[in-house]
Amino acid sequence: MKKLENKVAVITGAGAGMGKAIAQCFASAGCRVIAADINTARLDVLKAEVEASGGAITTIIANMAVESDIEAMIQKAISEYGTLDILINNAGIMDNFQPVGEVDNATWERVMAINVDGPFKAMRSALKIFTAKGSGNIINICSIGGLKGGVAGAAYTTSKHALVGLTKSTGYMYSKSGIRCNGIAPGAVNTSIGETIDMTKITPLVQDRIMTGMALNPRTGNPEEIAQVALFLASDDSNFVNGHIMVVDGGWSTY
């Protein structure tokens, strides 16, 4: 039997990068996937690839800054497959590496809306289903930026620290309800998140304080390597793992 046979998962930011790799990995493991993203073309490619491999997938356009989109995404799992077992909060954006003194309100609010408010609202919606059935699994894609202070800008770093706290709080509070909540803290990974960075805003301060640390990274990871960790956390192999943030960065953050 496959590790996620007959399970239903919602995966955000599934059109590319880690989200796409997780969707493909889960589908191969027998999971029925609801793949959410803001990019229709990327979702179409993902759907074709998963179905060509014999997997079950439904796609939906969802902006994690829009609450009605989030609710529709969760309800899509119910309407298509009758339940929800796993929520993967993967969608996220960067912040141009800007320190506090350089961050404008619009950037701060957008980063928080997508990186924190979106996952929170998706978790709240999913938990209504999980608590009613007495089981469920939430996996938040955090970042080593949620554990350290020097690998991203102020907005992104704050958002990921908040997501780490939300993950631990949820894992603890629902630990007697048959529900687990864990996080993955990747280092640098080959994904499309770079598309959300405006390199013209990289200032001398950023070059001095952040970019010098980037040189310490032993290597860049592949999305498939993160997907395998997500599969472990989503499966029964990790039944006793809860409220944990699993660092997956090739050793970068051990410096």
Whole-prediction pTM value? 0.95
Q: How far apart are CA 216 and CA 43, in angstroms?
A: 34
pLDDT-based confidence at residue 198 (cuts at 50, 70, 90): confident
Supply the Cα-derived Rg of the chain in whole angstroms. 17
CATH of the domain at 21: 3.40.50.720
pLDDT-based confidence at residue 196 (cuts at 50, 70, 90): low
Query: pLDDT tens-digit profile of 52-85?
Result: 999 999 999 999 999 999 999 999 999 999 999 9
- Which has more confidence, 208 or 146? 146
Average pLDDT over residues 192-206: 75
- Residue 174 appears among annotated catalytic residues: no
How distant, in Å, are the alpha carbons of 12, 19, 28, 33, 56 from that of 80?
17, 20, 19, 10, 11
Q: Is residue 254 part of a domain?
A: no
Q: Is residue 206 part of a domain?
A: yes
Q: How far apart are CA 61 and CA 231, in angstroms?
A: 24
Q: Is residue 135 part of a domain?
A: yes
Q: Is residue 171 part of a domain?
A: yes
- Select which of 81, 156, 172, 174 is catalytic: 156
Phi/psi of residue 190, nearest 5 degrees? -70, 95
Query: pLDDT tens-digit profile of 158-169?
Result: 999 999 999 999
Average predicted confidence (pLDDT) for the chain: 95
Q: Is residue 167 part of a domain?
A: yes
Sign of CA dihedral 199, 204, 207, 210: negative
pLDDT-based confidence at residue 92 (cuts at 50, 70, 90): very high
Average pLDDT over residues 192-209: 76
Say how many domains are in the chain: 1
Q: How far apart are CA 82 and CA 138, in angstroms?
A: 18
Q: Which SS3 state, helix, strand or coil, does residue 50 take?
A: helix
pLDDT-based confidence at residue 205 (cuts at 50, 70, 90): confident
pLDDT-based confidence at residue 202 (cuts at 50, 70, 90): confident
Question: By residue range, what is the domain housing residue 111?
Answer: 8-248
> Could you tell me where the beta strands, DSSP code E, fall in the chain?
8-11, 32-37, 56-61, 86-89, 136-141, 179-186, 245-248
DSSP letters, 100-141, are GGG--HHHHHHHHIIIIIHHHHHHHHHHHHHHHHT-EEEEEE
**For residue 1, pLDDT beyond 70:** yes
